Structure 1
Amino acid sequence: MEAALAARDRARRGLTTSSDTASGVAVVQRTDEATSTLAKSRQPLNENNTTKAKLSKLSTDMAPQTPFASPLSRPLPSTPCGNGRELILQGFNWESCNEKANNDRSWYQLLNEKVPEIAAAGFTSVWMPPPTKSVSKQGYLPTDLYNLNSFYGSEDELRSCVARMREYNITPVADIVINHRCAEAQDDAGRWNKYTGKIDWDARAITCENPQFGGQGSQSTGEDYLPAPNIDHTQQFVRKDLKEWLSWMRDDVGFRGWRFDFVKGYSGVFTGEYVEETRPFLSFGEFWDECSYRDGVLEYNQDAHRQRTCDWVDSTGGNTAAFDFTTKGILQEAVARTEYWRLIDTKGRPPGFCGMWPSRAVTFIENHDTGSTLQHWPFPRDKILQGYCYILTHPGTPTVFYDHWVDPKWSEAIGVMLDIRKRTGLSSNAAAVHIERATAGLYAAHIGHAQEMYTEGLSMDVDVKRPSICMKLGVEDWSPNAAKVGNLSWKCTASGDGWAIWEDKNHLEDEEISKAR
């Protein structure tokens, strides 16, 4: 992709610089990128000061795609992913719900025991499984939202696990399933549409596209989910009940983050409203969209795919991040087919969502759906560490899958990569990636901090005065010392089959001197 590398230099001339009078720093923005509705907000989120904002009258101005927009009444954090340096562990797999039956202890009890180890590894957040009572063991067909006794354990065990995580400064993230909800009682026609528990809705809470459930609500604002009654988020009473429940989950149970399931099923405007009301420290959604394939092979250009993810994030008002399915799809195709030229777009940037909007991209290579025992879209098992070498060095908020973290084949190397990311201070904010090579057999990049403060987007100019790293994937030989990257001296601090990471020797020596003192 030599043409892409050349295009990168041309793209640099498409940057504009303006003065940020509030902070007194130069702000660089791309003229050809979608910008966040919250681009000017840099107010950090203080977890000790997260009272509910008073919502003003509903307006249609902020989201023309739906008449149910919730105006953001005050600036939100500069990123919905904490301080930009979060490291997330997905703390379950598809079979975790069977832990009690198989090993005579609940999954919550197992996680509770592992909290010190999770903290020592450097994880700052744990994405936990759906916490509510559910028709399915895995929790993705919820019934009574206030009933927190599930196949993962009892409510007391959940509360104990959440409390211990917070003792270790780990942010517990709840898996929020509110696209659909299963009723526990039938109407006179035998349709399951009567809800029980504290949130005792009736058929008005179900979208009208669900005739098998007798839905009497409005049309859905997203894709239909066939297995269960789809919740009508246009109903004010529905949104009121859900916001009260989320507030209870935060203030009473102790969660500090939300992972929203199947967000394609309802407008992102509603996700934005729920996040604005509850002010979580972390907020990200599962916008799982199909990549473009031709004859079973992934097409090179996935710009339309990542743009759809960007559009969904924008629809939330920018207060919620999204899983970077684009990066997963491209990365696993590149390593499986030895086609590392895929890892650069036509403008010289990373081709996934993290190359467009890193502060809103939650990167991953596997989860309970794509891998585990389901294997819906698995990452090549012999290339797992190449995958982590990429997402743990590149901008975005990386997520490590539980199965990979505990597997002896990969755990040590993943731990080393986590240490490098923390030591270098890599962030999803003001990040920079300069791609050095992208050929069939090699991908190499220089990654660090941007020379200028970026409000949105991704810089390609790495500040060599601050800690940075170089990395490579593939079968071809490459060294940043031979390539004279940044005119710096580099030390290889981690490597394996088809991957390697180098750190700037000067900053490594400075850190060693600091530790010695």
Structure 2
Amino acid sequence: MKKTLKNIPLVYLLILVVFFSCSSDDDTPPVDPDDDNGIEQPEPVSALNLAEYDNGSRVMMQAFYWDVEPRFEWWNTISDKLENWADAGINRIWIPPASKGQSGGYSMGYDPSDYYDFGEYDQHGTVPTRFGTREDLENMISTAHDNNIEVIADMVLNHNSGGGLQYNPYREKDTYTLFDETHGNASGMFNRDYEDFYPNSVSNYDPGSLFYEETNLDHHRERVQNWLWKDENSVAKYYKNVMGFDGWRFDYVLGFEDFVIKDWLEEVGGFAVSELWDGNPSVLRNHIEATGSGVFDFAAFYVMEQAFDRNDDLTGLTNDQVWQTNPDKAVTFTANHDTEKDGNEDNIIAPENKLKAYAFIMTHPGYPTLFYLDYENPEFQDQLNKLISIHNSLATGSVNVIYADNDEYIMQRSGDANNPGLILYINTSENAKRRTITTSWDTTVLMDYSENSNYRPQVSENGEVIIEAPANSYAIWSITE
């Protein structure tokens, strides 16, 4: 049945009138930042000292991008930045696979050959890795620890590359499955041959490597488990006890079974995050349950990409994401070395929306990750430093989405007895927006701690306040002194 105004009770019409009189929409004139909208402005106030509101949360840095330059100097490049990163509020760095790959001085480490060559053996045409020498790496790890920053190793545990040819009776042809002192494994540790890869005398089943299928390690074999995580000189224990790594980023976990990570973590512990490239939050949660590892929250990544770029609809920001149920296991991000290099527009958040996406992950639960190229972008760095400071101080408490439509998203973190929390207001329209909301605060003056707005609204006794967000930007509101 078609509804007309005659069918709507008078009280609902009054509610609609009040609602639309308290909001700014695209068809209204742009908001003048100096316009008090008829509201008497309070006296000047002082911002909170955010250092006094340390909520214990911090931020991780992905300390590389694809094909980093200069070659052979990357560990030194990182070392020079660690003190500033620590001062900004970063407590972990994730570095690329640190051992020698088949591509030698050009390898980004994802073609592992010798797990124990960190830039000290002459093989694959080079002594140092693309990133530098073993001494450079050890100095970088030591500098990180001096600045209370943990170093996360990127572990490629399925596909190997760079071995020598040998006849493989299980494939009835020659395969590059011989790894020894003269064939891609100069360290002489974890030598391996075709029996250590699928298929072999005990395993015919390959769990699903999409590439390097002939050199996909069989993790069911006891000697492979011993060399990877069980023995005292295993990869896991050597990286932790000798090299000083503090945790793990597991690459391409679709290429092996969950028990590998579960057993690894039970053996050596440490921070862990898995690259399970799947936007389905249920799949990601199942991996958390099966392994005990955290996950990169690809569900949140694609929610942001669709909301800001593909669909241009901020209601999508309320869709299911891992951080909503597993905040301590959800590593949130806006970009990484893969999303920024593949050229797929559905796998990248557009540069003009990056800061809005960072504002989202820095104010919501989860463990946010900065991408090196974003942080080193001079157009982003000042604002990112502010977002880190806000995240490490005011981003605490339960989440309440106050309002969401195509171009507005307003969310409040409740804080606690000792922390006021915050309100995030994202606006993707071409006009500045203002909206009346009800908060958990009363009779206080608010300010935007991102410093994108100079507006200073007064909260009423019943918690109502008019907040604003600049055009195509965001504001992060909290109380003042």
Q: Counterpart in 1 of 2:67?
A: 95
What is the one-letter code of the residue matched to 2:276?
F
- How far did 1:152 drift? 1.1
For the Cα contact (< 8 Å) 1:425–1:467, is it kept in 2?
no
- How far did 1:422 drift? 1.4
SS at match of 2:102: coil
Take 1:221 and 1:361, find their aligned partners in 2: how far apart are those partners? Answer: 29
Aligned equivalent of 1:323, options 280, 292, 296 = 296
Q: Counterpart in 1 of 2:13?
A: none
Question: Does 2:334 match 1:365?
Answer: yes
For the Cα contact (< 8 Å) 1:207–1:216, is it kept in 2?
no
Q: Counterpart in 2 of 1:487?
A: 441
What is the one-letter code of the residue matched to 2:92?
S
- How far did 1:148 drift? 0.9
Q: Are residues 487 and 479 of structure 1, via their aligned partners in 2, closer, same or farther at CA, if it must alter by over 3 Å? A: farther
Q: Counterpart in 1 of 2:203?
A: 218
Take 1:333 and 1:365, find their aligned partners in 2: how far apart are those partners? Answer: 12
Take 1:314 and 1:359, find their aligned partners in 2: how far apart are those partners? Answer: 13
Q: Counterpart in 2 of 1:284?
A: 273
Aligned equivalent of 2:316, options 330, 342, 347 = 342
Q: Are residues 373 and 110 of structure 1, via their aligned partners in 2, closer, same or farther at CA, if it must alter by over 3 Å? A: farther
What is the one-letter code of the residue matched to 1:107?
W
For the Cα contact (< 8 Å) 2:58–2:392, is it kept in 1?
no
CA deviation vs aligned residue, 1:14-36 (integer Å, no higher than 9, x gap): xxxxxxxxxxxxxxxxxxxxxxx
Question: Does 2:146 match 1:167?
Answer: yes
Alignment of structure 1 residues 425-444 onto 2, 5 Å: 426=396, 431-444=397-410
SS at match of 1:125: strand
For the Cα contact (< 8 Å) 1:267–1:315, is it kept in 2?
no
For the Cα contact (< 8 Å) 2:295–2:329, is it kept in 1?
yes
Question: Does 2:362 match 1:392?
Answer: yes
Q: Are residues 168 and 219 of structure 1, via their aligned partners in 2, closer, same or farther at CA, if it must alter by over 3 Å? A: farther
Q: Are residues 270 and 439 of structure 1, via their aligned partners in 2, closer, same or farther at CA, if it must alter by over 3 Å? A: same
Take 1:84 and 1:207, find their aligned partners in 2: how far apart are those partners? Answer: 45
Take 1:255 and 1:147, find their aligned partners in 2: how far apart are those partners? Answer: 15
Q: Which runs of 5+ in 2 are unaligned?
A: 1-54, 120-128, 168-172, 181-187, 453-469
Aligned equivalent of 1:154, options 130, 133, 142 = 133
Alignment of structure 1 residues 464-503 onto 2, 5 Å: 466-475=419-428, 482-488=436-442, 489=444, 490-494=446-450, 495=452, 498-503=472-477
Q: Counterpart in 2 of 1:312?
A: 287
Q: Counterpart in 2 of 1:238?
A: 224
For the Cα contact (< 8 Å) 1:204–1:216, is it kept in 2?
yes
Take 1:224 and 1:373, find their aligned partners in 2: how far apart are those partners? Answer: 20
- How far did 1:466 drift? 2.8
Q: Are residues 223 and 474 of structure 1, via their aligned partners in 2, closer, same or farther at CA, if it must alter by over 3 Å? A: farther
TM-score scaled to structure 2, two decimals?
A: 0.74
Deviates more, 1:226-235 or 1:183-192: 183-192
Q: Are residues 327 and 307 of structure 1, via their aligned partners in 2, closer, same or farther at CA, if it must alter by over 3 Å? A: same
SS at match of 1:386: helix
Question: Does 2:181 match 1:190?
Answer: no
For the Cα contact (< 8 Å) 1:324–1:352, is it kept in 2?
yes
Q: Counterpart in 1 of 2:90?
A: 123
- How far did 1:263 drift? 0.7
Take 2:86 and 2:56, find their aligned partners in 1: how far apart are those partners? Answer: 18
Q: Counterpart in 2 of 1:177?
A: 156
Aligned-residue sequence identity (percent) comes to: 23
Take 2:87 and 2:56, find their aligned partners in 1: how far apart are those partners? Answer: 19
Question: Does 2:103 match 1:113?
Answer: no
Q: Are residues 248 and 369 of structure 1, via their aligned partners in 2, closer, same or farther at CA, if it must alter by over 3 Å? A: same
CA deviation vs aligned residue, 1:73-95 (integer Å, no higher than 9, x gap): xxxxxxxxxx9723100000002
Q: Counterpart in 2 of 1:402?
A: 372
- How far did 1:223 drift? 2.4
For the Cα contact (< 8 Å) 2:101–2:162, is it kept in 1?
no
What is the one-letter code of the residue matched to 1:226?
F
For the Cα contact (< 8 Å) 1:445–1:472, is it kept in 2?
yes
Report the RMSD for the aligned CA atoms in angstroms: 2.1
Take 1:485 and 1:131, find their aligned partners in 2: how far apart are those partners? Answer: 48
TM-score scaled to structure 1, two decimals?
A: 0.69
Q: Are residues 448 and 110 of structure 1, via their aligned partners in 2, closer, same or farther at CA, if it must alter by over 3 Å? A: farther
Q: Counterpart in 2 of 1:132?
A: 99
Take 2:420 and 2:202, find their aligned partners in 1: how far apart are those partners? Answer: 55
What is the one-letter code of the residue matched to 2:438?
K
Take 2:205 and 2:427, find their aligned partners in 1: how far apart are those partners? Answer: 45
- How far did 1:230 drift? 0.9
Take 1:313 and 1:267, find their aligned partners in 2: how far apart are those partners? Answer: 13
Take 1:237 and 1:288, find their aligned partners in 2: how far apart are those partners? Answer: 29
What is the one-letter code of the residue matched to 1:91?
A
